Structures are given as C-alpha cells and as structure tokens.
Amino acid sequence: MHPAVILEQNLRAVRARIAGACERASREPAEVTLVAVTKTVDAATTQMLIDLGVRDLAENRQQAAAEKLPHVPGLHDPGRPRLHFIGPLQRNKVRRVLEQFDVIHSVDSVKLADEINKRAIELGRPAVDIFLQVNVAAEGRKQGLEPAEVHEALRELAAACPRLRVLGLMCMAPQADRAEAARPHFRRLRELAHVPVNCGLSVALPSLSMGMSNDFEVAIEEGATHVRIGSLLFEGLPPLVDAGA
C-alpha cells in the first residue's frame, strides 16, 4: 500500500477513537485538538499529514525541526498548520523555538517562562501561547513543575510575563501497560487547572494537553483538549533510515 493510504487509514482510525472517547464523556469532538507528533517522520510524511487535513503538528527537538520543517512546503502557505513545541527546552534555544513555533507545551519553570517573555518582546511577538508542564506523577527524573508549585507559578507569570498566554497545563503520564493507569494522573492535572482566585472561588484554565498514543482515550475522558499522538499515526509505514527519537 502507498504510505499516504496507510496514513489516511491510521488518521481515520485515530479520529474515530477520539470521537468514541468524546461520546463516552459526553463531549464534542471539536473540543479535542489532534496534535500530530511528527518527530519520528520525514518531511514528506509530515507533508502528507497536512494534505490529509491535519492542522496541528508537534516536534520535540529544536535542531531536528529546524532541519526538517523548511522541506515541508505546506508549512509556508498562509493558512499553514500550527506548530507546537513539546520537548525539553533549554533557555538558549528559546529564541529559535519562538521563531519556528506557535505554541510551547513544555514550559517547566518560571525562569524559562521569563526567558520566553523576554525573547517575545525582542522579537516583537505580541503573545505566545504556552502550557505549563506538570510532573503529575512526581517522578524524580521527569521534567515539569511539581503539582504544589503550579498555582504559585501561575501567579508569578501573571505578574511578570505579560506576553505569555497560559492556555493550560500539560503532562505526560508515566509509562504503563494499561492506559487506565494514567487516569489518576490526568484527573490530577484537570484538578490543578482549577486555579483559586479568592474566597473559595476558582477559575479553570481552558486547555489540558494530555494523552499520547497509548492513553489518549482515557485522557479525553478526563478532559484533554489537546492529545499529542505520534506512533499510532505512523503504524505500518516503512521505517525511516534516520528516524529521530
């Protein structure tokens, strides 16, 4: 089968599963953005996704993205898809990431947020959409703010980073055999997105970036608005010689 045909079938299957999860949760599929994670595929495959109507693409490494994305013609059209940065972000890469990407999901410290705000001013970018990444499972080696730090970080950003628009929170559930194991972590993220304002009132941040190939349906049931899906979309495609991790 031609790769585009395989990709189209995979995409249709993923969209059907998103719709199924939405139905179980009494949600509208339009509330859930499929963010296609293209970090393991080449420019031609990325372009095929755009041709199939995918409107949101994600990469996790600035350098690899800088080499690949110029070779994706659909990213240079006026109505191009939105580009999401989802990987660990060092402060010295912020400027380049801002030049390439529309949304950053992996803001894991106030220091990094400050740097993004500062660079946005330098670049004349009026607003940058971000998610704060939270280490929901409190695993020592995973990146992200500790759950207990999230609300204080939001207060600091509101005071010090006027160029940043915090869409919501992002997390990665720990690897597990069963998708169900991720549920408490996703639920925790949703609860953290309710930010106390005063006198017992809280406001909910609008977006939750959670759920990957192996657990996105559970994430949608728990309120995900952005699911980041890679490997499931590319199942059955011939492997690349030089696939990034």
Ligand X SMILES: *Cc1c(COP(=O)(O)O)cnc(C)c1O
Name the residues that contact ligand X, by CB under 6 A.
37, 39, 60, 86-87, 172, 212-214, 228-232
The residues, any chain, with a CB within 8 Å of residue 125's CB and separated by 6 or more, are: 98, 163
Q: How far is the CB of 105 from ligand X (least distance, A)?
A: 7
Q: Of 94 and 210, which has the nearer Cβ to ligand X?
A: 210
Q: Of 67 and 152, which has the nearer Cβ to ligand X?
A: 67
Q: How far is the CB of 40 from ligand X (least distance, A)?
A: 7
Q: Of 118 and 244, which has the nearer Cβ to ligand X?
A: 244
Beta-bridge partners for 166? 130
Whole-angstrom distance, CA of residue 89 vs CA of residue 101 = 12
Q: Of 36 and 164, which has the nearer Cβ to ligand X?
A: 36
For residue 183 the two structure tokens come to: 């549920």
Residue 145 DSSP label: B
Q: How far is the CB of 228 from ligand X (least distance, A)?
A: 4
Residue 171: name the closest of 133, 139, 123 by CA.
133
The amino acid occupying position 122 is E
203 three-class SS: strand
Q: How far is CA 145 from CA 55, 211, 214, in A?
A: 29, 18, 23
Q: Of 33 and 214, which has the nearer Cβ to ligand X?
A: 214
Q: How far is the CB of 126 from ligand X (least distance, A)?
A: 26
Q: How far is the CB of 170 from ligand X (least distance, A)?
A: 8
